[in-house]
Structure 1
Amino acid sequence: MTSHAAPAEPSGAFAGLLNAFPVSAATFIVTLYGDVVSPRGGEVWTGNILETLATVGISESRVRTALSRLVAAGQLEGTREGRRSYYRLTQRAAGAFSAAARLIYAPVEPAPMRAWHLVALPDENREAAARILARHRFGFLSPHLAVLPDRGASLPRLPGCLFSAATDDGRLGDLLAAAWQLSALSGRMRCFIEHFEPWDSGDVPHDAALGLRLLLVHAYRELALRDPLLPPPFLPPDWPGPRARALFARLYCALSPAAETIVSAHFMSRSGPLRPDRKRLERRLDDLV
Structure 2
Amino acid sequence: MTDLLRKDPGAVPSDLASCLASGPPRATAFIVTIYGDAVAPRGGVLSMRSLIEAGRAHGLSESLMRTAVSRLVTAGRLSGERIGRTSHYRLTEAAQAEFGAAARILYDPPVAPRGWLFAMTDAAPGEGWAEVASGLWAAPDRSDIDRPEGLTFAADVVAGAPDLPAFAAAHWPLDAVAAAYRTFLSDFAPLRADSAVLRDVSAEAALVLRLRLVHAYRAAALADPRLPDAALPADWPGAAARALFISAYLALSPGADLRIAQVFEDAQGPLPRETEATRDRMQRLGREAALHNITRK
Superposition TM-score tier, normalisation by shorter sequence: 0.7 to 0.9
What does residue 3 of structure 1 align with? Answer: none
- The structure-2 alpha-carbon separation of the partners of 1:142 and 1:15, relative to structure 1 and needing over 3 Å to count, comes to farther
Give, in whole Å, the separation in 1 of the partners of 2:209 and 2:264.
Answer: 17
- 2:118/2:155 contact within 8 Å kept: no
Q: Give the TM-score of the pair, scaled to structure 2.
A: 0.82
Give the secondary structure class of the aligned counterpart of 2:218: helix
Matches within 5 A, 1:134-283: 136-142=127-133, 144-153=135-144, 155-156=145-146, 158=148, 161=150, 163-168=152-157, 169-201=161-193, 202=195, 203-204=197-198, 205-206=201-202, 207-275=204-272, 278-283=275-280
Matched residue count? 268
- 1:139/1:176 contact within 8 Å kept: no
Deviations 1:263-283 (A, max 9, x none): 112211111221366322122
Letter in 2 for 1:79: E
Offset, 1:15: 4.0
- The structure-2 alpha-carbon separation of the partners of 1:256 and 1:140, relative to structure 1 and needing over 3 Å to count, comes to farther
Offset, 1:156: 4.5
Offset, 1:118: 2.7
Structure 2: gaps (5+ residues): 10-16, 287-297
Letter in 2 for 1:24: R
Matches within 5 A, 1:11-22: 12-16=17-21, 18-19=22-23
- 1:120/1:145 contact within 8 Å kept: yes
Q: Percent identity?
A: 41
Letter in 2 for 1:164: F
- 1:31/1:214 contact within 8 Å kept: yes
Give, in whole Å, the separation in 2 of the partners of 1:121 and 1:32.
Answer: 37
Offset, 1:287: 2.1
What does residue 294 of structure 2 align with? Answer: none
Give, in whole Å, the separation in 2 of the partners of 1:141 and 1:213.
Answer: 38
- 1:115/1:164 contact within 8 Å kept: no
What does residue 69 of structure 2 align with? Answer: 67
- The structure-2 alpha-carbon separation of the partners of 1:84 and 1:66, relative to structure 1 and needing over 3 Å to count, comes to same
Q: Give the TM-score of the pair, scaled to structure 1.
A: 0.84
Counterpart check, 1:58 vs 2:54: no
Give, in whole Å, the separation in 1 of the partners of 2:270 and 2:4.
Answer: 25
- 1:7/1:59 contact within 8 Å kept: no
Give, in whole Å, the separation in 2 of the partners of 1:103 and 1:53.
Answer: 24
- 2:44/2:91 contact within 8 Å kept: yes
User: Would you identify which runs of 4 or more consecutive aligned residues in structure 1 move more than 4 Å?
Assistant: 6-12, 155-158
What does residue 95 of structure 1 align with? Answer: 97
Greater CA deviation, 160-169 or 184-193? 160-169
Offset, 1:119: 3.6
Deviations 1:12-48 (A, max 9, x none): 41443x35xx621100000000001100110011111
Give the secondary structure class of the aligned counterpart of 1:254: helix
Give, in whole Å, the separation in 1 of the partners of 2:237 and 2:44.
Answer: 34
Give the secondary structure class of the aligned counterpart of 2:243: helix
Offset, 1:178: 2.0
Give the secondary structure class of the aligned counterpart of 1:114: coil
Q: CA RMSD in A?
A: 2.4
Letter in 1 for 2:18: A
- 1:137/1:226 contact within 8 Å kept: no
Structure 1: gaps (5+ residues): 1-5
Greater CA deviation, 138-147 or 170-179? 138-147
- The structure-2 alpha-carbon separation of the partners of 1:74 and 1:157, relative to structure 1 and needing over 3 Å to count, comes to farther
Offset, 1:208: 0.8
Give, in whole Å, the separation in 2 of the partners of 1:230 and 1:157.
Answer: 16
Counterpart check, 1:25 vs 2:17: no
Give, in whole Å, the separation in 2 of the partners of 1:101 and 1:265.
Answer: 24
Give, in whole Å, the separation in 1 of the partners of 2:255 and 2:211.
Answer: 13
Give, in whole Å, the separation in 2 of the partners of 1:33 and 1:163.
Answer: 36
Give the structure, 1 or 2, with the largest relative contact order (CA under 8 Å, sep 6 or more): 1
- The structure-2 alpha-carbon separation of the partners of 1:137 and 1:220, relative to structure 1 and needing over 3 Å to count, comes to farther
- The structure-2 alpha-carbon separation of the partners of 1:219 and 1:119, relative to structure 1 and needing over 3 Å to count, comes to farther
Counterpart check, 1:84 vs 2:89: no
